[in-house]
């Protein structure tokens, strides 16, 4: 098994088709709305990096995307990244593949020089992400969407927790300012909460 990484639009088509199939297993598209496999899933401005865990036959067992952008929080600028579209093939679940890939994504964010990683997950997945090195950011709410059309992670009906990793010295020093705060992520209309 190996982990492959590509800018989303440079992912080989055979692998991209497999990733799209896994995503359809997890989040089925409404009838008639499935986009072609070569259609980007993310806003290119967020510099999507696709990470795939594949077996020896190049079958995709798990996939995710890292999205990144600069954010401003408490008057300071940070290079932030987040996980998006984390998925494991149904028949491959329970073998630690997802945890391995999520942990590798965290290390990739560090090596890419990001200050911090922030993303939301459904509350029942908290332990999964903690097992891969992420920590809950208590009381934090990510504000997605745009300033004119915000999409907060504490919307009614959502059961989300914010996960974080503080990588740079500046981010570690500022960690307390992120707790119990509303963090203006604003990734846009395509990736509302990455």
Neighbours of 145 (CB within 10 A): 17
> What pLDDT score does 41 carry?
84
- Output the average pLDDT for the chain: 94
Q: How far apart are CA 135 and CA 81, in angstroms?
A: 15
With H, G, I as helix, E, B as strand and everything else as coil, classify residue 38: coil
Whether the CB-CB separation of 92 and 54 falls below 8 Å is answered with no
pLDDT tens, residue by residue, 3-35: 999 999 999 999 999 999 999 888 887 877 667
The yes-or-no verdict on residue 161 having pLDDT over 70 is yes
DSSP category for residue 34: P
The yes-or-no verdict on residue 95 having pLDDT over 70 is yes
How are the residues of the chain apportioned to helix, strand and coil, as percentages rounded to the nearest 5?
30, 35, 35
Q: How far apart are CA 89 and CA 21, in angstroms?
A: 9
Q: 25 or 160: whose pLDDT is higher?
A: 160
The yes-or-no verdict on residue 36 having pLDDT over 90 is no
Confidence of residue 37 (pLDDT cuts 50, 70, 90): low
Question: pTM for the whole thing?
Answer: 0.93
> What pLDDT score does 77 carry?
98
The yes-or-no verdict on residue 39 having pLDDT over 80 is no
> What pLDDT score does 13 carry?
92
* Cα within 13 Å of Cα(186), Cβ side: 10
Q: How far apart are CA 25 and CA 32, in angstroms?
A: 16
With H, G, I as helix, E, B as strand and everything else as coil, classify residue 3: strand
């Amino acid at each position: 098994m190996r982990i492959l990484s590509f800018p989303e639009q440079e992912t080989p088509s055979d692998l991209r088709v497999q990733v799209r199939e896994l995503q359809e297993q997890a989040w089925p598209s409404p009838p008639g709305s499935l986009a072609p496999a070569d259609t980007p899933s993310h806003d290119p401005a967020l510099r999507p990096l696709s990470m795939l865990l594949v077996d020896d036959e190049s079958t995709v067992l798990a996939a995710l995307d890292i999205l990144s952008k600069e954010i401003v929080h408490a008057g300071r600028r940070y290079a932030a990244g987040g996980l998006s579209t984390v998925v494991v093939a149904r028949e491959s679940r329970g073998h630690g593949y997802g945890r391995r890939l999520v942990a590798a994504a965290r290390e990739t964010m560090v090596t890419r020089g990001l200050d911090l990683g922030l993303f939301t997950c459904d509350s029942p997945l908290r332990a999964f992400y903690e097992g891969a090195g992420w920590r809950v950011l208590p009381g934090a709410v990510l504000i997605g969407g745009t300033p004119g059309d915000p999409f907060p992670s504490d919307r009614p009906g959502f059961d989300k927790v914010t996960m974080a990793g503080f990588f740079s010295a500046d981010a570690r020093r500022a960690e307390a300012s992120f707790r119990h705060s509303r963090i203006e992520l604003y990734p846009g209309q395509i990736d509302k909460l990455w």
